[in-house]
C-alpha cells in the first residue's frame, strides 16, 4: 500500500515494490500538489486517487519516478512522445542536440537537476571552442559513381545544386560541408553515411539562438516529466537563457525587386519560375516545392498551400504538413504567376517526353530533370550564386518572402491581410517581424495627413509649384 507524507504545499507518495537482486528495497516516489481552491475533502479524495493510480503504475512497472537519470528519461521521451507527436525535422534537430545535453546532465537524476546546473551548461555552450564543425569525407570512388551515371562532373554538380569545386574536393578526399554531402547522397538516393565519414573539427562558440534551442529541448523533456508525475517542477521555468538579438529581416526594395525580375529573364525557366512565384506570393521555400499541379486553379487564379517538401539525411526528400495549421491557406495570385506556370508546364511536359520511362511520375510542379522532387537546398544555392553575379544586395531565398510582405505593407495592404496571405498564426507575428515596414508606412501616413490638413504646408507647396 502506498504511503503518503506531507511535504510543504504538497505530498510525497511512496510505493514499495519488493527487492532488487542486491537485496535493496525498490521504492517509487512521486510528488502531488493540490490545485488552488480545493476544499479539504476534495484534496483528501484526489490525494487518495493519485496514490492508488501511482501504486497501480508502480506494480505494473510503468511508473517513472525522479530517480531516473536524464539520459534514460530522454530516451523514453523520444520513444513515447516525440516520435509520435513532433514533426520528423524537429525530432532530428532535438536528437542532434542530445549528445551535448547528455554529456552535461545525462548522468544526473531528474529530481536533482536545478536551474544552476542548466545555467552552468548554457554558460559552457557560449564559450569559444565549444562548437564542433562537422565535415564529411568521401569514402567511396565518387568519380566512378558519377561516370556510371553517364554525366560529366559539371552536369552532376548542377543537378545536385552544388558547385563543381565541391564535387572536385569530394573526389580528391577533401572535407566538405554537411549540405554538400547531403545533396550528393540525395542525387544517388542513398543515406549519408553510405558515402561519407564524419570528420570533427574545432570551431567557435554557439550563437545565443542555438543555446535557446538547447533550452527549449530540455524544457520539453521536463514538461513531459511533470505531466507524467516524474518530477514536481520544471527547472527550465526558473532558468533564463541569453537574450537573442532580433535582427531585422533582409529584403529588396521596390526598385531592387523590379531589377531582379529583369535579370531573371536571362535565367533557366525552372529557376526563373520558382523565384518569381516566391516573390509574387510570399510563400515559404518548402511550401513552393511542395506544390502539386492539382493545387493550382487557373480559372480562379488561386493556389492552395497545404504541404511542405522537406529533407532529412536519413529520410531523403519527403512531403509533410505545412509549418502550422494556419499555414494551410488559399491565396489569390497575380496573373503573372499563372502566365509563368503555363509556360513552365509546357516546358515540363516536353522534358517528360524526352525522359520517357526514366521519368518519375508525380503531380509535383517543380522537379528535377527526371521528375523527382527538388532538394530544398538546390533552389537556395542556385539563388545564392545568381545574387553573387548581380549588383543586388546579398539576400537569400527567404528574403523574397520578406520582400513580398514589406512591399504589401508599404503600399497600404492591411496587416491582417498580409498575415493571412503569409500563413502566420496571428497578425501579432506579422507585426513583430515587419515592425520596420509598419513604422515606415506609419510615418508616410503622418506626412500625407500633414500635407492634407495643414494649410501652411499645402499653401507652401502650391507656391513652389506656381513659381
pLDDT value of residue 299: 95
Strands 296-297 and 302-305: antiparallel
pLDDT at 460 over 60: no
Q: What is the pLDDT of residues 105-138, one digit of tens each?
A: 999 999 899 999 999 999 988 886 666 667 889 9
Q: Where is pLDDT greater, at 389 or 316? A: 389
The residue behind cell 494649410 is: 455
pLDDT at 457 over 60: no
pLDDT value of residue 166: 87
- The structural domains of the chain, ordered by start, are 3-60 (no CATH), 70-129+206-238 (1.10.150.130), 132-202 (1.10.260.40), 254-419 (1.10.443.10)
Query: In the chain, helix, strand, coil percent, each to 5?
Result: 55, 15, 30
Q: Which residues contact 198 (CB under 8 A, 6 or more apart)?
A: 134, 135, 136
- pTM of the predicted model as reported, rounded to 2 decimal places: 0.69
Name the pLDDT band for 61 (thresholds 50, 70, 90). low
pLDDT at 22 over 70: no
CA atoms within 13 Å, Cβ hemisphere of 385: 12
Q: What is the pLDDT of residues 288-330, one digit of tens each?
A: 999 999 999 999 999 999 999 998 877 888 999 888 787 899 9
- Span between the terminal Cα atoms of the chain, in Å: 99
Q: Where is pLDDT greater, at 103 or 432? A: 103
DSSP 82: I
pLDDT value of residue 231: 86
What percentage of the chain reaches a pLDDT higher than 90?
44
Calculate mean pLDDT across residues 254-272: 95
- As to burial, measured by CB atoms within 10 angstroms (0-12 exposed, 13-18 middle, 19+ buried), residue 194 is exposed
pLDDT value of residue 311: 87
Amino acid at each position: 500500500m502506498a504511503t503518503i507524507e506531507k511535504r510543504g504545499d504538497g505530498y510525497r507518495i511512496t510505493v514499495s515494490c519488493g527487492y532488487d537482486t542486491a537485496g535493496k528495497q525498490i521504492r517509487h516516489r512521486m510528488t502531488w500538489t493540490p490545485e488552488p481552491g480545493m476544499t479539504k475533502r476534495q484534496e483528501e479524495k484526489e490525494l487518495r486517487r493519485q496514490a492508488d493510480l501511482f501504486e497501480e503504475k508502480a506494480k505494473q512497472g510503468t511508473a517513472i519516478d525522479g530517480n531516473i537519470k536524464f539520459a534514460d528519461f530522454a530516451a523514453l521521451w523520444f520513444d513515447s512522445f516525440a516520435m509520435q507527436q513532433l514533426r520528423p525535422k524537429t525530432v532530428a534537430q532535438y536528437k542532434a542536440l542530445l549528445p551535448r545535453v547528455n554529456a552535461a546532465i545525462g548522468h544526473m537524476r531528474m529530481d536533482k537537476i536545478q536551474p544552476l546546473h542548466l545555467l552552468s551548461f548554457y554558460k559552457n555552450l557560449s564559450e569559444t571552442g565549444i562548437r564542433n564543425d562537422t565535415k564529411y569525407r568521401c569514402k567511396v570512388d565518387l568519380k566512378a559513381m558519377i561516370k556510371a551515371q553517364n554525366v560529366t562532373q559539371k552536369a552532376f554538380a548542377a543537378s545536385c545544386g552544388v558547385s563543381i569545386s565541391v564535387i572536385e574536393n569530394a573526389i580528391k578526399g577533401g572535407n566538405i560541408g554537411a549540405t554538400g554531402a547531403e545533396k550528393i547522397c540525395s542525387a544517388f538516393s542513398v543515406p549519408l553515411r553510405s558515402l561519407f565519414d564524419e570528420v570533427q573539427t574545432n570551431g567557435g562558440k554557439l550563437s545565443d539562438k542555438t543555446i535557446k534551442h538547447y533550452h527549449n529541448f530540455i524544457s520539453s523533456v521536463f514538461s513531459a516529466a511533470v505531466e507524467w508525475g516524474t518530477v514536481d517542477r520544471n527547472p527550465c521555468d526558473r532558468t533564463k537563457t541569453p537574450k537573442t538579438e532580433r535582427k531585422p529581416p533582409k529584403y529588396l526594395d521596390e526598385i531592387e525587386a523590379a531589377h531582379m525580375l529583369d535579370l531573371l529573364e536571362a535565367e533557366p525557366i525552372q529557376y526563373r519560375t520558382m523565384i518569381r512565384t516566391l516573390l509574387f506570393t510570399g510563400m515559404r521555400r518548402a511550401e513552393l516545392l511542395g506544390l502539386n499541379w492539382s493545387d493550382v486553379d487557373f480559372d480562379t487564379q488561386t493556389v492552395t498551400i497545404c504541404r511542405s517538401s522537406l529533407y532529412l539525411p536519413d529520410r531523403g526528400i519527403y512531403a509533410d504538413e505545412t509549418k502550422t495549421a494556419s499555414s494551410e491557406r488559399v491565396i489569390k495570385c497575380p496573373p503573372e504567376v499563372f502566365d509563368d506556370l503555363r509556360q513552365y508546364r509546357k516546358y515540363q511536359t516536353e522534358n517528360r517526353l524526352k525522359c520517357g520511362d526514366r521519368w518519375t511520375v508525380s503531380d509535383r510542379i517543380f522537379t528535377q530533370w527526371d521528375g523527382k522532387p527538388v532538394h530544398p537546398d538546390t533552389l537556395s544555392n542556385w539563388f545564392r550564386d545568381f545574387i553573387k553575379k548581380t549588383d543586388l544586395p546579398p539576400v537569400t531565398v527567404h528574403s523574397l518572402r520578406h520582400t513580398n510582405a514589406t512591399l504589401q505593407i508599404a503600399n497600404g495592404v492591411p496587416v491582417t491581410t498580409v498575415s493571412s496571405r503569409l500563413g502566420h498564426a496571428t497578425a501579432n507575428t506579422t507585426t513583430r517581424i515587419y515592425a520596420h515596414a509598419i513604422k515606415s508606412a506609419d510615418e508616410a501616413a503622418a506626412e500625407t495627413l500633414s500635407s492634407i490638413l495643414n494649410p501652411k504646408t499645402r499653401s507652401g507647396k502650391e507656391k513652389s509649384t506656381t513659381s
